[in-house]
Amino acid sequence: MGVDTDGEMSRFGEDPDNRVLGAKLDEALELMLALWSGDEVSHAGTYYKADGVAFLPRPLQQPRPPLWGAATGTGRPRPLKRAARLDGLFPADGTPGKLGPMLDVIAAERGTLDGFDVALPAFPGSDMAAFERAGATWALWHFYPPAPADDIMKAVSAGPAARARLGAALTAAGPRRRGRGRGRRVGVWCGVYRSPAPAAACAMRVATASGCDR
């Protein structure tokens, strides 16, 4: 959907109103899902047009590539309800402590959290056990400059051992309440943002490390 923090939209004539951006996103999702079918699509919406367009080849993942919806808290339920129609939730400013009420909204919309991904932002020192107890299935690790490559690798390399300990604890503890913490390990997604040199080497080391799933 985007934000207008430094005029990224308004300075190009785009309407930065969140309601307009949300409506655009909803229509774009509808159109994209139709196009991913591989069938010929004609669409005449408020914001987007498509006249006899077909996207080929179809996506390898069926029924579609997974889509996660972003949201911040429960004060604005529309983004949470949108995420509930998709395949996962990314609470942009989420923490394990904030996640419970958000998942309550998701569960009420979907009827279940089975098969639904929840990706929490993670930083050095984040407690993966707390992530799992809260219902997270992915930890999105963030590394910003000037984080040295060695510090990044230290955090990444700690992942498998921590997850192994967590897996053993989950096996002993059994299923969690309300569909959260379903015994599934927390996946690790690593991102390196605008890293200084040696950026390429750092990104490659992170991407090939056993501590990352993505």
Q: Flag whether pLDDT at 103 surpasses 70.
A: yes
Asked if 79 and 70 count as a contact pair (C-beta separation under 8 A), the reply is yes
Q: What is the pLDDT of residues 76-93, one digit of tens each?
A: 889 999 999 999 999 988
Q: Which two tokens stand for residue 203?
A: 């990104």
pLDDT at 201: 42
Q: d(Cα 151, Cα 29) in Å, to the nearest integer?
A: 38
Between these two residues, 75 and 204, which has the higher pLDDT value? 75
Can you tell me which residue has the tokens 């923090």? 5
Question: Hey, what's the torsion of the CAs at 202, 208, 209, 213, to 10 degrees?
Answer: 120
pLDDT above 70 for 193: no
pTM of the model: 0.73
Residue range 100-120: mean pLDDT, rounded? 94
Query: How far from each other are the two terminal CA atoms of the chain, in whole angstroms?
Result: 23
> What share of the chain has pLDDT > 90, as a percent?
46
Binning pLDDT at 50, 70 and 90, where does residue 102 land?
A: very high
Tell whether the model's pLDDT for residue 212 goes beyond 60. Answer: no
- Residue with the larger pLDDT of the pair 138 and 208: 138
Q: What angle do CA 26, 27, 33 make, to 5 degrees?
A: 90
Mean pLDDT of the chain: 78
Average of per-residue pLDDT across 124-138:
87
- Going from N- to C-terminal start, the domains of the chain cover 1-59, 66-214
Query: Percentage of residues in the chain with pLDDT exceeding 70?
Result: 71
